């Protein structure tokens, strides 16, 4: 019993602040459900502006969550993005952490059933 | 919570591929072209539908939704769907040749030769079902049922197979055009590329 109470009182798992930002969360979620995608696909799915998406992608790439492949097709540059194994693990952990927080919040007094 | 609904996110992403009307236009124009031109012997002419598909893909779809490689299970399903459709297109050819060169039309051969339009309709319907399964697009099942009704009606009223081909193809093409118009209005061209 005491152990169970200790588990309930334990601090919920930390949320990855890099992923927690809404735009980056949308990017990560969209990359998580596909194998790889290009910049235009992410623009379309996230509805971010070009500069915004570029900026967020740089941060995600710097964290090692995304691998970037640049190639030229019909003399036009095409940038493909794919979540790395680390990025997938980080996103999974983030989801688990968020879900456990939400589940914990549901049990608290004053919350809607 | 929306971003945690990964199945929903994947479905919406895949929807830009399966609900943009491109496949409807290709299949519809293919059937329509075949129905219109079969009598003058231009059996390969409907391949223009493929050319139109490639042009639409390159100049309409890709500039709007970009390029994406979906997860392995989606790709396997699409490959299986393509194999099924190719088989359904190829199987009637030896069947037709066997009937053409048969000395006597007895048993199943007699049945097939007297119900050619209906059997052709069943192959078209199975192709639609395969496309619907492969692309997770329920409207193709409706196209399949419509094909059975159109070809069955033509069989019943002794009409040539080109009539149900044209009517089925025309309806599917119109639906495809409407879907593509909605897709175009909902997805503006993305001119940007990564820095």
Quick check: A8 pLDDT over 60? Answer: no
Provide the whole-model pTM: 0.82
**pLDDT band at B93; cut points 50, 70, 90:** confident
Residue B171 confidence class, pLDDT cut points 50, 70, 90: very high
- Cα of A30 to nearest chain B Cα, Å: 7
Position B178 confidence tier, pLDDT thresholds 50, 70, 90: very high
Distances (CA, A) of A81 to A19, A42, A66, B70, B78: 16, 9, 6, 12, 22
Q: Distance from B16 to chain A by nearest Cα, in Å?
A: 10
Q: What mean pLDDT value characterizes chain B?
A: 87
Closest CA to B13 of A23, A24, A41: A41
Q: Which tokens in the block code for residue B66?
A: 């970009």
Q: Sorting pLDDT into bands at 50, 70 and 90, what band is A1?
A: very low
- Write down the pLDDT at residue B94: 81
Per-residue pLDDT tens over the stretch B41-76: 666 666 788 889 899 999 999 999 999 999 999 999
Cα separation, B194 vs B67, whole angstroms: 13
Chain B residues within 8 A of A46 when measuring between CB atoms: none
Residue A111 has a pLDDT of: 59
The closest CB to that of A34, out of B1, B13, B187, belongs to B13
Q: Where are the domains of chain B?
A: 12-186
Chain B residue nearest residue A34, CA to CA: B70
Among B4, B13, B190, the residue with its CB nearest the CB of A30 is: B13
Residue of A nearest to B72 (CA): A35
Residue linked to tokens 């688990």: A96
Chain A CB within 8 Å of residue B67 CB: yes
pLDDT-derived band at A104, boundaries 50, 70, 90: confident
Find, in chain B, the residue whose alpha carbon is nearest to that of A70.
Answer: B194
Angle between helices A50-62 and A22-32 (to 10 degrees): 70
A33 reaches B (C-beta below 8 A): yes
Give the model's pLDDT for residue B170.
Answer: 96
Smallest CA–CA distance, residue B144 to chain A, in Å, is: 30
Report whether pLDDT(A101) > 50: yes
CA–CA distance from B93 to each of B29, B97, B98, B115, B120 (Å)?
Answer: 21, 6, 9, 16, 11
Q: How far apart are CA A103 and CA A98, in angstroms?
A: 9
A15 pLDDT band, cuts 50/70/90, is confident
| Residue scoring higher pLDDT (B98 or B120) | B120
Residue B190 is predicted with a pLDDT of: 80
Query: What pLDDT digit, counting tens, does each position of A27-85 carry?
Result: 999 999 999 999 999 999 999 999 999 999 999 999 999 999 988 877 878 889 999 99
Share of chain B above pLDDT 70, in %: 91
Q: Are A69 and A79 in contact (CB under 8 A)?
A: yes
At residue B192, the pLDDT reads 61
Of A97, A64, A70, A96, give the one whose Cα is nearest residue A83: A64
Contact A40 B16 (CB under 8 A): no
Lowest mean pLDDT among A28-37, B90-99, B150-159, B162-171: B90-99
CA distances in angstroms from A51 to A55, A56, A71, listed in the order given: 6, 9, 20
Residues of A in contact with B6 (CB under 8 A): 29, 32-33
Check whether A109 has a pLDDT greater than 80: no
Residue among B62, B65, B72 at smallest CA distance from B12:
B65
Helix (H) or strand (E) holding B11, with range, is: helix B6-18
């Amino acid at each position: 019993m005491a152990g169970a109470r200790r588990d309930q009182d334990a601090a919920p798992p930390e949320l990855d602040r890099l992923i927690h930002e809404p735009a980056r969360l949308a990017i990560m979620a969209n990359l998580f459900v596909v194998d790889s995608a290009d910049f235009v696909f992410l623009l379309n799915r996230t509805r971010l502006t070009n500069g915004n998406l570029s900026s967020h992608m740089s941060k995600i790439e710097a964290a090692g969550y995304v691998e970037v492949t640049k190639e030229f097709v019909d003399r036009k540059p095409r940038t493909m993005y794919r979540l790395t194994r680390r990025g997938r693990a980080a996103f999974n952990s983030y989801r688990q952490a968020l879900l456990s927080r939400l589940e914990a919040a549901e049990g608290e007094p004053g919350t809607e059933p | 919570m929306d971003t945690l609904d990964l199945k929903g996110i994947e479905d919406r992403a895949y929807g830009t591929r399966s609900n943009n009307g491109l496949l409807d236009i290709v299949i519809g124009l293919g059937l329509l072209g075949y129905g219109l031109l079969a009598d003058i012997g231009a059996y390969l002419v409907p391949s223009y539908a493929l050319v139109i598909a490639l042009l639409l893909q390159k100049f309409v779809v890709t500039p709007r939704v970009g390029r994406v490689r979906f997860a392995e299970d989606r790709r396997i399903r699409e490959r299986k769907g393509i194999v099924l459709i190719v088989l359904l297109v190829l199987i009637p050819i030896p069947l037709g040749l066997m009937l053409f060169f048969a000395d006597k039309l007895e048993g199943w051969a007699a049945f097939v030769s007297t119900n050619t339009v209906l059997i052709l309709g069943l192959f078209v319907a199975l192709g639609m079902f395969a496309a619907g399964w492969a692309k997770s697009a329920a409207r193709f099942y409706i196209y399949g049922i419509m094909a059975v009704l159109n070809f069955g009606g033509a069989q019943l009223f002794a009409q040539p197979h080109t009539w149900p081909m044209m009517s089925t193809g025309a309806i599917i093409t119109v639906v495809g055009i409407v879907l593509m118009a909605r897709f175009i209005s909902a997805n503006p061209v993305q001119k940007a590329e990564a820095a």
